[in-house]
Structure 1
Amino acid sequence: METEIRDLSSIEIRNLMLDTLAYEGEDIDSEGKTFKLYGYQGTQSDLYRLMEGLAIKRGLIKSDIPLYGAAWDGSGLMLHPHSTTNFSYSDIQNIYEQFHLLLNQGIIAPGAIGNYGPNLPSFHVTEYGLKCLDENEILPYDVDGYLEKIKNIPSISEWVEFYIKEALQCYNANCMEAAVIMLGLSSEKILDEQIDALLGYLSRNFTDEFSQMQTELSSIRLASAKFNCYKKYFYMIKNNVSDHLFKDMLPLVDRVAFQVYANFTRITRNELAHPSDTKMERIEVLMIFISFIKYCQTQYGFIDYYINH
């Protein structure tokens, strides 16, 4: 079955633009041109042309109109939806908006050295912008890149990897509700691992709290209650742990951030697991995916600490 192609969100356009500026391969332009090859400077036409090539390569847009080659720093063609470009009307609006947002944020700046000229449409990537390119978010349409980030998290379990991989496949098949269910399952698996690791840590360092937590957990079945139990004993001991490694991680789990994400994925999964009219929008699910890598890194940071201390 052919995958449905939708208009790209502003976040997807922004990341596509940043990825294009950072791209080093030779397969998104008929002549193998990249911004790196030209010292991270060029024109808006160069950027939009290469963006289209990368979007097609990633399956974000259909290739109904043949891509054209052009001299670097050339004026290029005006973007007309489904006439001179495979981008839609909405995509083109988003492209123009995101380009100017990158200007306002200092990631790119007007003008370029050489024969380009001091003003738009010529531009260059700033020093700050180059750092942003190195740290650009991985979006779920880049399945291999996303999974690579996940696999690089120390101690992450095979089951969590499996659920996330399934979630990515669901997302890219435009099955948003199924994607969230898979992320919810991975979140609950992480919670189980956190609880086991914390119990082991308490048994070695806080024996009274270990006995109390073990007793409480013996009568708990719901994931929400397990999470509340974990949170209770986490806060009970956190001020009594003097290790700087542990203390350095505490700002990552302030009282709000600690609960909101885990509860969101759990509650959403529970809602979606039962017949209902719940409908997840693509942008909602995209935001979950964007934050999920950081969420996993944070939780496994604590799991690693519990296991090794």
Structure 2
Amino acid sequence: MEMETRDLSSIEIRSLMLDTLAYDGDDIDAEGKTFKSYGYQGTQSDLYRLMEGLAIKRGLLKLDIPLRGSAWSGDGIILYPQSTTNFSFSDIQNIYEQFHLLLNQGIIAPGAVGNYGQNLPDFHVTKYGLRCLEEHEILPYDVDGYLRRINSIPSISKWVEFYIKEALQCYNANCMEAAVIMLGLSSEKILDEQIDALLRYLYRNYTDEFSLMQTEVSNIRFASAKFNCYKKYFDMIKNNISDQTFKDMLPLVDRVSFQAYANFTRITRNGLAHPSDTKMERIEVLMIFISFIKYCQTQYGFINYYINN
């Protein structure tokens, strides 16, 4: 059966571009060249040529136009749809757009050291870009992919989804502090849901602890104090629960969730006295986004346990 082809989406082009930069196999170029083997430096023509090879390997493109080899950092060829490349007109436009978006976001930068030039079409992958290539998680530049992962978490609330979507938009607009504030707000909402779920669980299973926690939490205003209250009663009962599902989640909450919350509260409205003094590095925010999916999965694992037991 003949393979169906279609124009690739912006997300697919972007993902393909990043995967090409990170690729270390020898099967997408006639001579086995990769960006890794050239120190993550090259030209736009090198990138587009290897992207096409990877797209064909993955079945994203049909091989109608034979692939051509080229010397690394050579002039290459101009992309003409169905003439010099298997990419469509729309694909080529998308490639140019996504290349410049990677430039704007600091993943790649003009110029390369050695037998290259200091400006485009020569470029190199930045240190920040190398960190992006190393990560196998869904990254925040892939808004749809990130939200799909978030939406797959059972029982996640619409408000949490909303704050995360806003955080992604802030991140991709290069507003790092605003992005983490939005994540902090989503974390606060998750905490409120955790407290409500834990109270209902205590009411059914630990009546003395329920009365104490209900009285204590009713007098708390700030999120940091709410978190300490939640952790206090969580620690109070966790060793008394024999259910294996609950026990299996304990290492996750100890390693990931409590530390992640400490990161988010650094610049939330309750954690900042002087917002203008806070500056977040892009790599730091990227790492928070990557950990936040696991954070949500872990927290909703406990919320769902409290609700169902």
TM-score range, shorter chain: 0.5 to 0.7
Q: What TM-score, normalized by structure 2, do the two folds share?
A: 0.64
Q: Which moved more, 1:204-213 or 1:256-265?
A: 256-265
1:35 maps to 2:43: no
CA deviation after TM superposition for structure 1 residue 219, in Å: 1.0
Aligned position for 1:260: 259
The Cα offsets for residues 67-123 of structure 1, whole Å up to 9 and x where unpaired, read as xxxxxxxxxxx76453334x3x5x26777x78xx98xxxxxxxxxxxxxxxxxxxxx
1:136 and 1:258 map into 2 onto residues whose CA distance is 20
- How far is 1:208 from its partner? 1.1
| Shift in alpha-carbon separation, 1:43–1:198, aligned structure 2, 3 A | farther
Unaligned ranges ≥5, structure 2: 1-13, 25-46, 60-68, 77-86, 105-114
Pairing 1:184–2:203 present? no
Q: 1:245-284, aligned counterparts within 5 Å?
A: 245-254=245-254, 257-270=256-269, 271-272=271-272, 274-284=274-284
Q: How far apart, CA to CA, are the structure 2 residues paired with 1:302 and 1:286?
A: 25
Q: What amino acid does structure 2 have at the position aligned with 1:57?
A: Q
Q: What is aligned with 2:98?
A: 57
Amino acid at match of 1:260: Q
CA–CA separation in structure 2 for the residues paired with 1:154 and 1:143: 19
Change (3 A) 1:39 1:166: closer
Matched-pair contact (CA < 8 Å) for 2:167–2:178: yes
1:1-309 matched pairs, under 5 angstroms:
16-17=18-19, 21=23, 33-35=52-54, 37-38=56-57, 56-57=97-98, 59-61=101-103, 80=117, 82-85=119-122, 87=123, 89=124, 91=125, 136-254=136-254, 257-270=256-269, 271-272=271-272, 274-309=274-309
Contact 1:167–1:183 (8 Å) recurs in 2? yes
Q: What is the TM-score when the length of structure 1 is the normalising length?
A: 0.64
Alpha-carbon distance in 2 for matches of 1:247, 1:205: 17
Contact 1:163 1:185 (8 Å CA) reproduced:
yes
Whole-angstrom distance in 2 between the partners of 1:21 and 1:207: 57
CA contact (8 A) 1:81 1:92 kept: no
Q: Deviations over 1:143-182 (max 9, x none)?
A: 1111111111111000000000000001111111111110
**SS state of the match for residue 169, structure 2?**
helix
CA distance in 1, matches of 2:150, 2:21: 19
- Partners of 1:280 and 1:148 lie apart in 2 by 26
**Cα distance in 1 for residues equivalent to 2:95 and 2:23:** 11
Contact 2:257 2:299 in 1 (8 A): no
Matched pairs, number:
235
Question: Which secondary structure state, in structure 1, belongs to the residue aligned with residue 276 of structure 2?
Answer: coil
Q: Closer, same or farther in 2 for the Cα pair 1:247/1:21, shift >3 Å?
A: same
Report SS of the residue matched to 1:140.
Answer: coil
Matched residues in 2 for 1:137 and 1:79: separation?
32
**What root-mean-square deviation, in Å, do the aligned CA atoms of Structure 1 and Structure 2 show?**
3.9
Q: How far does residue 267 in structure 1 lie from its aligned partner after superposition?
A: 2.5
Percent of matched pairs sharing the same residue: 62
1:207-238 deviation digits (Å, cap 9, x = unpaired): 11111110111111111111111001111111
